[in-house]
Chain A
């Protein structure tokens, strides 16, 4: 059994499971299902009126990035990841992930429609601001290769292309850029602004954490099955893909915070980017590059511990949707291979 390659008819059998982790992640993803309309934004609109221009710019800039970014991730999965995977468990998971990306896009859309934004302007930002254009070009570069006829997934070079694209999309875009954006978005709630938007980000972050878990699992399993990829040169190349991603994000954050707002400025966010990038590098089995400490210690409150919600005060974001009226029967449970 192999994770990547050309799909054969046997690959359409879900059983027996070969990649239990992917099936488990699929099940958890289903439980995590949520809908944007569960979040009411009225109070956030009141906050918006009180925010400074710099703060508003940051929110709009984030939205301008995230809205299309969710769709780009979907394209990358559809064109660069899904077609080259043989495992049906992984296909199940990716189908759910793609719905989640769509859901995130619609969630941001919901915010865009509710807030008094110049939507045209926001929609165009990612086409006009050079630092954002560069981030998209970076992703597209790796994705484009995956769509070319010359790509042979059974060759070593083809597998390398697969990993390159996977790292760019999943590790860099979802695992570094998004994480940094979430920290910025959550910082507003930390100052008691945009609390409901914060709840939405909590949900998005919960989903993205799972995406990342899947991506890391995928990278490692592919590497394990294809030891010919484990060369110094390729490791260095992957590291430089991550570093390039960090450099792009550094430039972008300067546009996000040309000056600064209470609690945040570009240097601060970039220190966080480096901190997260180090974590991703280590998760790939690569050494740290930046040795940065986490400047956002308050993130322990925002994401690291269980949250106790007074239901009539805020949206509870820890509910899961697959409650069953009967105890799991044995046959419902996936069997280990």
Chain B
């Protein structure tokens, strides 16, 4: 069967293996085993082709072929990146001479100016993008070679998620244009926009920090809705509920996730205000409206809305709230899309500890509770308890506090909801508490900002990539300081450019200028330093690095305040009293009436907090400075571990909107390659689902560093967050991972988190007890249960049924190949990188050149007549087709 390619103009041409092999070859330049890789990719690609395949599909097929081999060698990741980049360059920059690196670089620079100008005239980019900048200088600043910093999943994610596209989904920007767009889009108001855009560009394009998702989507465009997080509460009247539904929709449309507090809504059965004897349906049906509303919205046109409901656990309907995410039950009482988080008080945690009762009330009867925290809350709560017991309340429920805590944790284990967030740790430690109570956190449990009828809290995010600040087992502190300062400035710039859809959000954003600088790559960084997540030294490292970042971020905000002025509500804030985040630990301890079980000292020498305390008294530019978001997307783009998360496993699959990606720990691969054992253990690592602890060949010190999230102690997750939380004024998205399903143990873990002063926890990932049968590794269930089955039969003709050591698998209509397919194209640049193991193929070159086959690595035609048949023991012996196997096949060498 002959293969035809459908070209972009619709015409067909005969498939030419040479052409495609050439492009794979180019993508393999400079890598360790180019010939083997080209062969592998070409063979795999060929398997998937069909007659009439389009050119674009063909490009995709080679990319897919590289990607599916990443588990064999991380070099395939680089090939996939290069192949993908090529398709982007072609679409954005146009045709270029693929063998001349300078040609591409030049065209890449030249077309940048058109990209900006065309973007403005097409009304996609903001007019200031042309007006305010020296475009030629910016074009000359672009460094196309930084595209090599990407890993495939990150590049694909960036293009899918953030890159601006035309109506036909064709990308309009290369990755470097993207970084420059974001940098420019945040520099309009600087005195010298071009200079600052260059500085921000360099940071982001080197992946030293990245802006938050909404900023990446909207910066530089005509619709700069740049905030990631919104926090709103719903008040107990129909007008406000209806308005809140509308606000949820408008905020979702702009992009960004929402936290929505439902605590104020009266409970089911509570009398209505109107005097008709009716009763309220409670919060659930109203929540369901919002749950449905966000499904209708495509955030930023790219993903559906995301929202987390918050409720305090003294609400009469809290038991119903716990079940909102249950997978069975009345659909009208279940939230299919929105998430849930319980907002727990210290009073509750103490009652769990002392095995006391817990009372739930109708907020219509206890309206002040929602506004109170600390001792004031406890006092008022106890008064309501007395009223309840005295029969003075219409409705209340009483359960053992431990029972409710168990109920929450059982739901958490089965549905990963509700997340657990602590009201008093958040409010008592707040430096911005002069603007009211914080009733909730946000979608990712890292934001701590107050809200009321007039204010929908807004937070703007960016994240430092810690791993990009490590070199030769050392933190580059100076570079880190520079990154922190630039990131804070960039975040502050954002606020004056930001366009938000509802006035309550605009007000809060402008008056508080809240930002949340986070980190990603924590695990990546400690691995490079040779530390185990599960060790005191890693916790000290967390302590040290967060102290440093906190110090520099606050200092920079104070610097900005000197020039640009303090935020509106600075006066009266704890900042204005010379308080910094670490000072609030004692406030929490006093309010709680018991000490936190986290070490309070500083682990960083040489930061003089007293100087900074004096400085912040004079002003800070931003109500908040730090918040560690999960960074599930920008962490991927930066090619590092998200937030403060541990490695989920050494290999695992990441299920994202932009696709399902195979994630492999490049640090581990590097270490194993250095030891010369990577090839021996890579199969086992997949078979063991990314857990190396049972692989004998791997030495103990590596097993210590490279644990999975399920083999790391859950107390380590808590300790890392607790150390960081000392210095962070908002909070951290603390994902939890558990293997144990013992509820008592789970209770201890979450109680410890509270004891150590965590403000919140995020998803709870349970280790699955059963997963689908694996496909690509050897599976034999009979062997596992020690059974032979029909294998127990004593055969009369034993030898006739024993499997051949090698034989050809069914392969794309091939005859049994007769000669080695490892053809080396004469001009292959790969050839220069030949090493000893390739010598045989070189020797074969002479014979091959005589053939008049289309040249290329693995053209099928050449395969057909070119695999040798070795003869062993007068039995036909056929070489394996799979190049990886072939490498080990003596008869090919």
Contact = CB atoms under 8 A, between A and B. Distances in A.
Interface stretch (A101-109, A122-130, A150-158, A282-290): A282-290
Interface string A313-324: 110101111111
A4 to B, nearest CB: 16
B775 A303 contact: yes
B780 A31 contact: no
Interface stretch (B390-398, B539-547, B798-806): B798-806
Nearest to A257: B50
A306 B48 contact: no
A304 B689 contact: yes
A206 interface: yes
B656 A304 contact: no
B740 to A, nearest CB: 10
B410 interface: yes
B807 A291 contact: yes
Interface in A284-337: 284-288, 290-314, 316, 318-327
A63 B193 CA distance: 57
Interface in B689-733: 689-690
A12 interface: no
Contacts of B306: 312
Interface residues of A, number: 98
Contact of B741 (A232, A305, A323): A323
B10 interface: no
Contacts of B779: 279, 283
Nearest to A212: B773
Given A303-B775, A320-B414, A298 B60 contact: no
A298 B414 contact: no
Interface in B844-871: none
Contacts of B328: 35
A284 B633 CA distance: 45
B785 A217 contact: yes
B808 to A, nearest CB: 8
A297 B52 CA distance: 24
B660 A302 contact: yes
A235 interface: yes
A19 to B, nearest CB: 12
A262 B502 CA distance: 45
Of B303, B658, B743, most buried by chain A (CB within 10 Å of CB) is: B743
Contacts of A113: none
B782 interface: yes
B838 interface: no
Given A34-B327, A263-B61, A312-B443, A300 B770 contact: no
Contacts of A284: 782, 789-790
A202 B775 CA distance: 13
B562 to A, nearest CB: 40
A228 B550 CA distance: 76
B255 to A, nearest CB: 13
A211 B791 CA distance: 22
Given A297-B776, A298-B68, A305-B652, A238 B790 contact: yes
A279 B882 CA distance: 18
A120 to B, nearest CB: 29
Nearest to A264: B48
Interface string A254-285: 00010111111101101100110001001111
A224 interface: yes
B776 A291 contact: no
A299 B413 CA distance: 28
A216 B414 contact: no
Interface stretch (B109-117, B369-377, B810-818, B824-832): B810-818
A314 B789 contact: no
Nearest to A283: B782
Interface in A28-81: 28, 31-32, 34-35, 37-38, 40, 42-43
A138 interface: no
Interface stretch (B197-205, B214-222, B761-769): B761-769
B416 A311 contact: yes
A220 B785 contact: yes
B44 interface: yes
A288 B803 contact: yes
B790 A303 contact: no
A287 B686 contact: no
B648 interface: yes
Contacts of B885: 293
Interface in B384-417: 406-407, 410-411, 413-416
A308 B648 contact: yes
Interface in B18-50: 44, 47-50
Given A271-B811, A308-B654, A313-B657, A297 B769 contact: no
Given A232-B793, A326-B743, A310 B655 contact: yes
A188 to B, nearest CB: 11
A313 B68 CA distance: 23
A296 B777 CA distance: 11
B743 A305 contact: no
A1 interface: no
Contact of A301 (B53, B653, B793): B653
Interface string B280-297: 000000000000000100
A209 interface: yes
Nearest to B661: A301
Interface in B715-761: 741-744
A259 B810 contact: no
A112 interface: no
Contacts of A28: 769-770
B377 to A, nearest CB: 27
A286 to B, nearest CB: 5
Nearest to B745: A327
Of A28, A206, A291, most buried by chain B (CB within 10 Å of CB) is: A291
Given A216-B782, A306-B652, A263 B64 contact: yes
Of B48, B303, B782, B812, most buried by chain A (CB within 10 Å of CB) is: B48
Interface string B646-683: 00110111111111111100000000000000000000
A304 B809 contact: no
Contacts of A323: 410-411, 413-414, 741, 743
Contacts of B788: 285
B686 A300 contact: yes
Contacts of A202: 772
Contact of A260 (B51, B655, B765, B766): B51
Interface string B564-591: 0000000000000000000000000000
A235 B47 CA distance: 34
Contacts of A261: 50
Of A32, A220, A304, most buried by chain B (CB within 10 Å of CB) is: A304
A320 B777 CA distance: 25
B801 A287 contact: yes
A296 B809 CA distance: 13
Interface in A189-207: 189-192, 195, 198, 202, 205-206
Given A31-B770, A217-B785, A271-B809, A310 B632 contact: yes
A265 B813 CA distance: 12
Nearest to A281: B790
A32 B776 CA distance: 23
20 contacts: A43-B304, A179-B775, A191-B64, A192-B659, A216-B785, A235-B790, A260-B50, A291-B804, A293-B885, A300-B776, A305-B662, A306-B649, A306-B690, A306-B771, A308-B655, A308-B765, A311-B339, A319-B766, A323-B411, A323-B414
Interface of A: 21, 28, 31-32, 34-35, 37-38, 40, 42-43, 179, 183, 189-192, 195, 198, 202, 205-206, 208-210, 212-213, 216-217, 219-221, 223-224, 230-232, 234-235, 238, 257, 259-265, 267-268, 270-271, 274-275, 279, 282-288, 290-314, 316, 318-327
List the 3 closest A-B pairs by CB distance, nearest first: A260-B50, A285-B789, A285-B791
Given A191-B659, A221-B787, A325-B406, 10 more contacts: A212-B781, A262-B53, A263-B48, A285-B791, A303-B772, A303-B775, A312-B339, A313-B632, A320-B766, A324-B410
